Amino acid sequence: MAATYLQEEHHIFREAFRKFLQKEAYSFYDEWEKQGIIPREFWRKMGENGFLCPWVDETYGGFGADFGYSVVINEELEKVGSSLVGIGLHNDIVVPYIASYGTDEQKKKWLPKCVSGEIVTAIAMTEPGAGSDLAGIKTTAVKQGDHYIVNGQKTFITNGIHADLVIVVCKTNPQANPPHKGMSLLVVERGTPGFTRGRKLEKVGLHAQDTAELFFSDAKVPAENLLGEEGKGFYYLMEKLQQERLIVAIAAQTAAEVMFDLTKRYVKERTAFRKTISQFQTVQFRLAEMATEIALGRAFLDDVIEQHIAGKDVVTNVSMAKWWMTEMAKRVASEGMQLHGGYGYMEEYEIARRYRDIPVSAIYAGTNEVMKMIIAKHLGL
């Protein structure tokens, strides 16, 4: 059943985006995986065709599109491959911080280029010693005149190599008690003195997605690059992390649907003992179980999306969606590979790539253990 938040214009947009991806992405994706990065040229083409941050206000170069368009974009990107996750991060996770908390000057300076693809963004939260425990970060930003002097290290940063703008989570008041009240967000631009990038990290999956370490050694950041107010960074993160987790759930649900279709097609073609393996009851039952979980996931996800679009508090439900759908997608990946037999372990089969790409979705945007902690807290436990 079609989601009620998607209207005819969304479906027309989806078809246009699919055609764009057929021409500009599907044919090149395997090569991008081998090269270990998505070309900047693809980002620019996305921007030229109106597929980057379409929700941005027309004043700053966007179309003022609703979240339904973001859902469509993220679903279609995931169908190509999970390594395109960095585009969803730019569109619906990082740039919204600028739109929500930036000054008019900051918006005029950065948003049009975020929409055009001239600027690629990243957000730097995780550190070698601090992941889901955001209050435990060590990166500091000390105010000196009209600049902040930033020192620290970030790791596992999506879009870390390409990023022209990095929203850095830092401590502007390391003595704050409790610690989270001393956190702020600073926008660090490419070429900032003292800001360097480490190696592009080699990951189990998402091979074409550029993930990197970032280093700040007396990095001199203009005070005007403070995003919002000093000391409010943690609260900004808590507000925006809900949409980030929803984006992860959307990608996981879509990946599960893709993997199911790949597996169903394969078992109907593969023969053993003089019949297709789809004719064996054990295979039929496993596919029936997968199809049921996927249908349940889609129904719950669409409900959460509708609530999010309506501006409702979705903290509990989005945490449920994030952990359950990423775990469900992992189960589908495992079953899908098993039902492909030996071929499922071969790189030439898409299920193999999907199998190694999906596990990280249960880790980033807050681990699934943290999701359960949030749910428990909202249950009054």
254 in Cβ contact with 78 (< 8 Å) = yes
Residue 244 among the catalytic residues: yes
Q: What token pair was written down for 94?
A: 């990082």
* Best CA proximity match to 154, nearest among 175, 178, 170, 141: 170
Phi then psi for residue 214, to 5 deg, are -125, 140
For CA atoms 145, 125, 377, 316, the dihedral sign is: positive
Alpha carbon distance 238, 88 (integer Å)? 19
Catalytic residue, from 127, 244, 293, 350: name it. Answer: 244
Query: Angle of helix 67-80 relative to helix 281-309, nearest 10 degrees?
Result: 150
Alpha carbon distance 146, 107 (integer Å)? 20
- Integer CA distances (angstroms), 255 to 107, 215, 297, 353, in order: 34, 33, 12, 11
Q: What token pair was written down for 231?
A: 């000391």
The residues annotated with a catalytic role in the active site are: 244
